[in-house]
């Protein structure tokens, strides 16, 4: 009995709130420290983006100079523009073919289905660096042959980046949409057909709207994957097709300056807004 009374019991919730056991204290401490660990780097980075000093070790007063400078920076503008173009096109294409693939996997039977399914998961598992160099090698070879056979002069650029992004994004869309399709109530479609709806009407007014939250979630995922990607973009970019992550990488490599902090902080805020926005959107849809 006595040993049980002194033993820190972390696994049962304390019966009385004010007698928090040693075990729970340790657990709470772990949570607090983990949150400090997760947030300290990005918070420090954001704070120092307002630092007036060029040397970053000391705080020299508040300034918005780095942000103003960034707004007038032509390279940043072009990089942001490139990132957006690639992300929009890649999201559009991967959402469409990903949704179609999900329908194929969930709604039809065909001979090589297991193989198709397996191949679909491969881009998710294969290390990024391997996919990056595989595409580099492929485009290099394809461009050589297109030039040799048809005299077609193609080069690495936004096109190759977009194709690569679609290749790694659409399986994610397919997975998300497929999950939605799997717990889809098919009696709704049958009911529509019983009431005289044509196939097209059933798809347009029943299937598609019910699938929409999954498709939107998939599209958001594809957009985030594209805009965040560094490794695959790095190996498949050409002259003048620098995206935001590539621009940041280049600057970090050249030496750390506060303008990188400002750019990074803007990207940080953008992703927070995007995530919270999509969460709110989903909540409203399910409510």
Partner 1 sequence: MVVAERVRPDQQILKWRERIVEVIRQREGLRALLLAGPGGLWLLLFFLLPIAIVFAYSFAHRGPYGTVAWAFTIENYTRFFDWLYIRVFLVSVWLALLSTIICLVIGYPFAYVIARAPRRWRNALLVLVLIPFWTNFLVRTYAIMLLLRADGLINNALLWLGVIERPLPMLFTPFAVVLGLVYGYLPFMILPIYASIEKFDFTLVEAAQDLGANTWHVFWRVLLPLTLPGVLAGSILVFIPSVGAFVTPDLLGGGKVVMIANLINQQFLTVRHWPFGSAVSFVLMAIVLAATMLYFRLGEGRRV
Give residues 17-76 in contact with partner 1 (rule: CB under 8 A).
Answer: 23, 26-28, 30-31, 34-35, 37-42, 44-45, 48, 55-57
Residue that is written with structure tokens 């204290």 in the block: 25
From 60, 191, 212, 272, residue interacting with partner 1 (rule: CB under 8 A):
272
Q: Read off φ and ψ for residue 62, nearest 5 degrees.
A: -80, 140
- Integer Cα distance of 124 and 234 in angstroms: 18
- To the nearest 10 degrees (0 to 180), the angle between helices 128-150 and 158-182 is 130
Helices of type H across 108-230: 113-125, 128-150, 158-182, 187-194, 199-202, 208-228
- Integer Cα distance of 159 and 154 in angstroms: 10
Q: At closest approach, how far in Å is the CB of 267 from partner 1?
A: 5
CB 48 within 8 A of CB 267: no
From 84, 158, 163, 179, residue interacting with partner 1 (rule: CB under 8 A):
163
Give the binding range for partner 1 (CB under 8 A) out of 91-99, 150-158, 176-184, 209-217: 91-99
Per-residue mark of binding to partner 1, 1-20 (x: CB under 8 A): --xx--xxxxxxx-------
| Closer CB to partner 1, 143 or 249, in the complex | 249
Query: Is 216 one of the binding residues for partner 1 (CB under 8 A)?
Result: no
If binding means CB under 8 A, how many residues of this protein chain bind partner 1? Answer: 94
From 84, 85, 92, 100, residue interacting with partner 1 (rule: CB under 8 A):
100
Tokens found for residue 113:
């289905």
CB 217 within 8 A of CB 282: yes
Q: At closest approach, how far in Å is the CB of 53 from partner 1?
A: 11
Give the binding range for partner 1 (CB under 8 A) out of 61-69, 72-80, 147-155, 196-204: 196-204
| Strand, helix or coil for residue 29 | helix
Query: Is 223 one of the binding residues for partner 1 (CB under 8 A)?
Result: no
Query: Is 218 one of the binding residues for partner 1 (CB under 8 A)?
Result: no
Q: At closest approach, how far in Å is the CB of 4 from partner 1?
A: 7
- Provide the 8-state DSSP code for 213: H
| Closer CB to partner 1, 44 or 71, in the complex | 44
| Strand, helix or coil for residue 62 | strand
| Closer CB to partner 1, 141 or 188, in the complex | 141
Query: Is 155 one of the binding residues for partner 1 (CB under 8 A)?
Result: no
- Integer Cα distance of 95 and 175 in angstroms: 11
The set of residues, in sequence order, having a beta carbon less than 8 Å from that of 178 and lying 6+ positions away, is 102, 105, 106
DSSP count for the chain of H helices, then E strands = 13, 0
The set of residues, in sequence order, having a beta carbon less than 8 Å from that of 188 and lying 6+ positions away, is 206, 210
Query: Is 237 one of the binding residues for partner 1 (CB under 8 A)?
Result: no
**Restricting to residues 105-134, which ones interact with partner 1 according to CB under 8 A?**
105, 107-110, 116, 119-120, 122-123, 125-131, 133-134
Q: At closest approach, how far in Å is the CB of 185 from partner 1?
A: 20
| Closer CB to partner 1, 1 or 150, in the complex | 1
């Amino acid at each position: 009995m006595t040993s049980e009374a002194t033993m820190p019991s972390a696994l049962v919730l304390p019966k009385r709130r004010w007698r928090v056991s040693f075990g729970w204290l340790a657990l709470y401490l772990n949570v607090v420290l983990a949150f400090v660990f997760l947030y300290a780097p990005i918070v420090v980075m954001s704070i120092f983006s307002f630092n007036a000093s060029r040397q970053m070790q000391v705080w020299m007063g508040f300034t918005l100079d780095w942000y103003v400078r960034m707004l007038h920076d032509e390279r940043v503008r072009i990089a942001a523009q490139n990132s957006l173009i690639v992300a929009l096109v890649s999201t559009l294409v991967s959402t469409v073919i990903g949704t179609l693939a999900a329908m194929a996997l969930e709604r039809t039977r065909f001979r090589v289905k297991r193989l198709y399914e397996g191949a679909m998961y491969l881009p998710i598992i294969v290390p990024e660096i391997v996919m990056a160099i595989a595409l580099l090698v492929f485009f290099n070879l394809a461009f050589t042959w297109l030039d040799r056979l048809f005299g077609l002069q193609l080069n690495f650029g936004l096109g190759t980046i977009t194709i690569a992004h679609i290749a790694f994004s659409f399986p994610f869309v397919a997975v998300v949409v497929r999950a939605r399709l799997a717990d889809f109530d098919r009696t709704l479609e049958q009911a529509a057909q019983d009431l005289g709806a044509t196939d097209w009407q059933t798809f347009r007014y029943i299937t598609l709207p019910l699938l929409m939250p999954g498709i939107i979630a998939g599209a958001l995922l594809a957009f985030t994957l594209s805009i965040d990607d560094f490794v695959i973009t790095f190996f498949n970019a050409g002259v003048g097709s620098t995206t935001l992550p590539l621009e940041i990488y280049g600057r970090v490599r050249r030496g750390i300056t506060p303008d990188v902090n400002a750019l990074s902080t803007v990207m940080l805020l953008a992703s927070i807004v995007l995530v919270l926005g999509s969460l709110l959107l989903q909540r409203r849809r399910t409510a």
